[in-house]
Structure 1
Amino acid sequence: MRRHLSALVSLAACAAGTAPAFAADYYQAPPERAVVVTNALVPACENPRVLAQVEDQFEYGAPNTVHAALQVVEFSGLYEKAYQPRAGTKLIERRYCQGTALISSGEHRTLYYVIEYPMGYAGVGWRAEGCVLGLDPWKVYGANCESLRRF
């Protein structure tokens, strides 16, 4: 009996030694799982209609602000920076995106854009707005496109 009891105590001591020990000032809570949104009302960053709106906005604004007939030739490296669902007091759903735009001048410039719902014509549907870094002299979106950067 004594032999079984000492074996059980030894086994318990070994099992306790394998559990991770956390120092009081070092413990970090496990990261939360990423939320996958499947019912978003705003389209994805790579959506061709979104990119067409961003391109149209730029090609309308460039001649009037930087006084140059610049065009977007190509988009690349597009990705989502943040997603803000409609919840509580936030009545507008937003998707913040970033990428690179090849401008007709031959420059590759960073592009920030946001897709918002319901911000379309008369509050129906979604709308996309973009800012090409270095080509917003009136700072419509803040210094260095800050209001569209989001994080």
Structure 2
Amino acid sequence: MRRALLRTALVSLVCLTGLAAEAGGRRGVHPADRAEARFHPMYGNIPACDDPAVLGEMTSWFNSRESRFWGPLRALSYDRVAETGFRPWGDDFIPRRFCSGRILLNNGVYHRVDYSVRENLGLFGLTWNVNWCVSGLDRLRSYAPDCQMARP
């Protein structure tokens, strides 16, 4: 009885460890299943986190949303921008570059901003786009709790 229980526990541990390693890190993918081998291939050619086009698009969307729905806040600048992950879920998913930094608003307060630059998810699937969340300003809790769902 004791040996069977120990064997069951060991098998469970091995299975859970395998799933955790697969979910937490990059897993091996057959070359035919990679994003580059699709009918519309994705190569991971997306701009860097601190690219002016990326920050400009984020600023434009943030300022537009704030002025239209919530109030007078406007994005002024960014600092401490760094990449937090590139294709963290594997090569068969849509290529994404995850980034984090601080955004200075016109009220003089810095907020953490988490964002991802995603390939082929822009206009008509022809270009990249940015998905972002500003900590403390996720009023609809789309990325709750506190923008964690915008991170890898």
TM over 0.5: yes
> Which residue matches 2:106?
104
> Which residue matches 1:134?
136
Q: 1:138 to 1:64 in 2, by over 3 A?
A: farther
> Which residue matches 1:45?
49
Alignment TM-score, normalising by the size of structure 2? 0.66
Post-superposition CA distance 1:108-147 (Å, at most 9, x none) = 1111110000101011110012111001110122321122
* Aligned residues between the structures: 109
Q: Matched residues in 1 for 2:67 and 2:53: separation?
A: 22
Secondary structure of the residue that 2:146 maps to in structure 1?
helix
Q: More helix by proportion, 1 or 2?
A: 2
Matches within 5 A, 1:72-87: 72-84=75-87, 87=91
Q: Contact conserved, 1:57 with 1:129, CA < 8 A, in 2?
A: no
Counterpart selection for 1:68 from 48, 71, 83: 71
Give the drift of 1:64. 4.1
Q: Percent identity of the aligned residues?
A: 27
> Which residue matches 2:123?
121
Q: Contact conserved, 1:116 with 1:128, CA < 8 A, in 2?
A: yes
RMSD: 1.7
> Which residue matches 1:22?
none
List runs of 5+ in structure 2 lacking aligned partners: 1-42
List runs of 5+ in structure 1 lacking aligned partners: 1-38
Structure number with greater Rg is 1
> Which residue matches 1:148?
150
4+ residue stretches of structure 1 with deviation over 4 A? none
Say whether 1:95 aligns with 2:97: yes
Post-superposition CA distance 1:51-105 (Å, at most 9, x none) = 011111111222344x2121111100000000007723x1x10000000011001
Q: Matched residues in 1 for 2:129 and 2:137: separation?
A: 21
Q: Which amino acid aligns with 2:137?
A: L
Q: Matched residues in 2 for 1:145 and 1:116: separation?
A: 17
